């Protein structure tokens, strides 16, 4: 039998498909299928044992009547829009520092980045201990300066600020990206500005910032998207506090750190309202999808304005 | 003179920031070397009043620590194998084979990075529980054999940097696509494979949500779950908890010490271009 002869584009297509096939299969199995079925589940009621029963819009009505949904949404928005700019500022500051040439720069960069690779459970444990109102280091250090530190994770007014602090410790990844961006700014720009007599600060504002704007915008939106998925830390803190006096239930003191994804998780696996959890998750998915589209649009626009890459 | 003051201020800032960033590690290690009553004595001191190592054997005995470590190591090794096997194939297809789907699939790869895990977790739980696979490591390991977007993006970036002329020369000599992949592209991508191996290690070693959903049997816990459980049950014994945390973190720090360059490069390239 004669082997059928394919032309080059056909052969490329088959090879390309073949090489990419594991990911394509995985895409359908682990992304498309769960996304579609979770949309279907959001119109049904079921728990871990029963099969889904169609209930129409009941879950969505339930969501809009549940004050904890709005509470958790508020907490998540706090993380997205208060924590993100702070993180970005810290990351940019750290990145600017490690871009300067000085002795021990490598060590300092390691110190800034290392927190980002530590397993979250271990990192969160340390922070819970450091936030201890009486025996924790943070309040004791504040005490040196005569500041009477708050109860942090035990006091609903300060829980989220404690999370913000924890977040700034974890900006290593953003810092590295900012660092790479800073280093990609052509040296000649600075030199000509210096000749024109521009000071350090005006050079930073008029040259550095515009040159790395697309990276900053991208990182800002990425951080916001991540904030919408903020789960691990609060899950660990709330279960750790559950055993402690004053810790309270699933969402920390007064549900002040009940994040939206944590509430989805609680609905799905503690209250076994899997239909409601799916509906909540889909609302989250829509928000994240819209933000992603905005992100790609804006980055493209900023990049184009900056002369493109 | 002004320059001197400036550089002094700069150094002071750097030192303060570095100390702040390192301090949680110091707290972790130094608390683990205190007696528990020392940790709960006012005034709080940074260094132990009496240095002890007793927390380490105590912590490792309080929970089946080595069992958990074995479980975690098993999952981690399987995940690394899965990712190392699949990532270069897919990345090669997207970067070096000239076919229509490459652009579309690259876009979809990026898109999946943004799908929240909370959206997919209920259906995945439903499937695995119907197949009787909860309380097994299959749900944690299986996905790693189908490629992860972040790794594929990094590897694709790398492959794109390999000159086409190398592959075309082999093509003229009659090498098939598979031969070109195995004999030319794969040997060249050792550095990026190291990077991906490290990320895969880190992701699997610290994974939290999936074990939390799928593993409920205590003897099957990973270190993340075991440690969290330990913390919620013995939340008064911080010296021991910190000792347990140090042992959990140590492999990661060692890895980081050896492969820091790969960590940094992976993030820097993917974050900028992606």
| Domain-wise residue ranges, chain A | 8-41, 57-305
Structural domain that includes position B208: 63-233
Dump strand ranges (E) for chain B. none
Has residue B249 been placed in a domain? no
Has residue B263 been placed in a domain? no
> Does A308 score more than 60 pLDDT?
no
State the distance between the two ends of chain A, measured CA to CA, in whole angstroms.
52
- Closest CB from A31, A114, A121 relative to B228: A121
Which residues of chain B make contact with A102, given a CB cutoff of 8 A? 10-11, 14
- Closest CB from A23, A169, A244 relative to B146: A23
pLDDT one-digit tens code per residue, A168-227? 999 988 998 898 888 888 888 888 887 887 777 888 888 888 888 888 888 888 899 889
Q: How far apart are CA A149 and CA B98, in angstroms?
A: 61
How many structural domains are present in chain B? 1
Read off the DSSP letter of residue B145: G
* Confidence bin at A276 (pLDDT 50/70/90): very high
φ, ψ at A244 (rounded to 5°) = -95, 145
Report helix, strand or coil for A279: helix
Fold of A57-305: MetI-like fold (1.10.3720)
Which residues of chain B make contact with A13, given a CB cutoff of 8 A? 99-101
Report helix, strand or coil for B225: helix
Q: How far apart are CA B80 and CA B58, in angstroms?
A: 32
> Does A258 score more than 90 pLDDT?
yes
- Output the domain CATH number for residue B157: 1.10.3720.10
Has residue B42 been placed in a domain? no
- Closest CB from B40, B252, B260 relative to A135: B40
Which residues of chain B make contact with A179, given a CB cutoff of 8 A? 268
Determine, for residues B118 and A265 on separate chains, whether the beta-carbon distance falls below 8 Å: yes
- Closest CB from A242, A265, A288 relative to B114: A288
* Neighbour tally for A247: CB within 10 Å: 18
Determine, for residues A37 and B126 on separate chains, whether the beta-carbon distance falls below 8 Å: yes
Q: At what angle do helices A274-305 and A33-41 cross, to 10 degrees?
A: 130
* Neighbour tally for B85: CB within 10 Å: 13
Average pLDDT of A19-26?
A: 94
Residues 6+ apart with CB under 8 A from B225: B68, B208, B211, B212, B215
* Neighbour tally for B203: CB within 10 Å: 17
Which residues of chain B make contact with A239, given a CB cutoff of 8 A? 228, 231-232
Report helix, strand or coil for A136: coil
Q: Is A154 left (phi over 0), alpha (psi -120 to 50) or beta?
A: alpha
Determine, for residues A22 and B249 on separate chains, whether the beta-carbon distance falls below 8 Å: no
Has residue B269 been placed in a domain? no
Determine, for residues B235 and A119 on separate chains, whether the beta-carbon distance falls below 8 Å: no
Read off the DSSP letter of residue A229: T
- By DSSP bridging, strand A53-54 and strand A44-45 are antiparallel
- Closest CB from B90, B206, B267 relative to A176: B267
Which residues of chain A make contact with B238, given a CB cutoff of 8 A? 129, 132, 135
pLDDT one-digit tens code per residue, B33-87? 998 888 888 888 888 888 999 999 988 888 898 999 999 999 999 999 999 999 9
pLDDT one-digit tens code per residue, B103-120? 999 999 988 888 889 999
> Does A6 score more than 90 pLDDT?
no
Determine, for residues A118 and B249 on separate chains, whether the beta-carbon distance falls below 8 Å: yes
pLDDT one-digit tens code per residue, B198-256? 889 999 999 999 999 999 999 999 999 999 888 888 777 889 999 999 999 999 999 88
Has residue B272 been placed in a domain? no
Which residues of chain B make contact with A281, given a CB cutoff of 8 A? 116, 118-119, 121-122
Spell out the long-range contacts of B160-164 with Cβ–Cβ below 8 A and sequence spacing 24 or more: B160/B95, B160/B96, B162/B95, B162/B96, B162/B188, B162/B189, B164/B96
Q: What is the dihedral of CA A232, A237, A240, A243, to 10 degrees?
A: -130
Q: Which residues pair with A48 in a beta bridge?
A: none
Distance of CA B63 to the CA centre of its chain: 23
Determine, for residues A261 and B116 on separate chains, whether the beta-carbon distance falls below 8 Å: yes
* Neighbour tally for B74: CB within 10 Å: 15
Average pLDDT of A246-270?
A: 82
Determine, for residues A20 and B93 on separate chains, whether the beta-carbon distance falls below 8 Å: yes
Q: What value does the CA radius of gyration of chain B take, rounded to a whole number of Å?
A: 24
């Amino acid at each position: 039998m004669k082997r059928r002869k394919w032309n080059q584009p056909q052969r490329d297509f088959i090879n390309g498909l073949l090489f990419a096939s594991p990911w394509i299969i995985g895409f359908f199995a682990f992304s498309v299928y769960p996304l579609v079925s979770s949309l279907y589940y959001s119109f049904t009621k079921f728990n871990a044992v029963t099969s889904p029963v169609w209930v129409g819009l009941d879950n969505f009505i339930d969501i809009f009547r549940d004050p904890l949904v709005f509470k958790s949404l508020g907490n998540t928005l706090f993380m997205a829009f208060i924590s993100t700019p702070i993180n970005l500022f810290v990351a940019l500051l750290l990145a600017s520092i490690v871009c300067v040439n000085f002795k021990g720069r490598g060590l300092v960069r390691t110190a800034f980045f290392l927190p980002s690779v530590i397993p979250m459970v271990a990192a969160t444990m340390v922070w819970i201990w450091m936030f201890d109102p009486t025996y924790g280091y943070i309040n004791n250090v504040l005490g040196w300066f005569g500041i009477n530190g708050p109860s942090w994770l035990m006091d609903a007014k300060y829980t989220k600020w404690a999370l913000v602090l924890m977040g700034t410790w974890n900006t290593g990844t953003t810092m590295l990206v900012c660092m790479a961006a800073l280093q990609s700014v052509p040296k000649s720009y600075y030199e000509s500005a210096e000749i024109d007599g521009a000071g350090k600060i005006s050079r930073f504002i008029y040259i550095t910032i515009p040159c790395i704007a697309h990276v900053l915008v991208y990182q800002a939106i990425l951080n916001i998207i991540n904030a919408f998925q903020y789960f691990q830390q609060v899950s660990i803190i709330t279960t750790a506090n559950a055993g402690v006096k004053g810790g309270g239930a699933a969402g920390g003191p007064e549900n002040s750190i009940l994040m939206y994804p944590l509430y989805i998780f609680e609905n799905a696996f503690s209250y076994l309202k899997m239909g409601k959890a799916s509906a909540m998750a889909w609302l989250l998915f829509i928000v994240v999808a819209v933000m992603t589209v905005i992100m790609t649009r804006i980055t493209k626009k900023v990049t184009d304005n900056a002369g493109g890459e | 003179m002004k320059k001197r003051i400036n550089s002094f201020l700069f150094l002071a800032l750097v030192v303060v920031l570095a100390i702040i960033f390192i301090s949680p590690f110091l707290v972790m290690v130094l608390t683990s070397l205190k007696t528990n009553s020392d940790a709960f004595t006012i005034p709080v001191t940074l260094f132990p009043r009496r240095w002890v190592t007793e927390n380490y054997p105590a912590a490792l005995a309080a929970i089946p620590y080595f069992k958990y470590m074995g479980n975690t190591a098993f999952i981690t090794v399987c995940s690394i194998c899965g990712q190392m096997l699949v990532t270069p194939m897919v990345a090669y297809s997207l970067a070096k084979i000239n076919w229509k789907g490459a652009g579309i699939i690259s876009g979809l790869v990026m898109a999946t990075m943004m799908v929240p895990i909370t959206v997919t977790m209920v259906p995945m739980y439903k499937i695995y529980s119907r197949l009787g696979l909860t309380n097994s490591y299959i749900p944690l390991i299986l996905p790693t054999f189908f490629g992860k977007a972040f790794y594929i993006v990094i590897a694709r970036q790398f492959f794109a940097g390999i000159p086409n002329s190398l592959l075309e020369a082999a093509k003229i000599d009659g090498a098939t696509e598979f031969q070109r992949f195995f004999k030319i592209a794969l040997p060249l991508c050792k550095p990026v494979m190291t990077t991906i191996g490290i990320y895969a290690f880190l992701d699997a070693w610290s994974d939290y949500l999936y074990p939390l959903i799928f593993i409920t049997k205590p003897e099957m816990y990973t270190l993340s779950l075991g440690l969290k459980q330990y913390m919620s049950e013995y939340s008064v014994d911080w010296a021991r908890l910190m000792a347990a945390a140090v042992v959990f973190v140590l492999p990661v720090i060692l890895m980081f010490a050896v492969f820091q360059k790969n960590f940094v490069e992976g993030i820097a390239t993917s974050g900028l271009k992606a």
